[in-house]
Amino acid sequence: MAERQTTARTDQQIVNQTNALAAKLYAIRGYEAPKGHKFWLATHPHEVEAWEGACEAQLMLTHTDVGDALSALTD
């Protein structure tokens, strides 16, 4: 099991990191998203899958719920 991250991240940093991971997962499938693409707003199934995979990775590896960070930014 991964160790907990000891450095606090802002909600914006969490969302940005998760979005970058989603872009990487999307690229692994052979696709390329435009720079700055917001995967959390995606409707295309492959983009949604990339975002969900990135969120699951954050939860598993850093015990961070990206949905909470995203909600804090949109409130």
pLDDT in tens, 18-63: 999 999 999 999 999 999 999 999 999 999 999 999 999 999 999 9
DSSP per position, 9-72: --HHHHHHHHHHHHHHHHHHTT--PPTT--GGG--SHHHHHHHHHHHHHHHHHH---HHHHHHH
**Domain coordinates of the chain in residue numbers?**
16-31+45-74
pLDDT for position 70:
95
pLDDT for position 5:
52
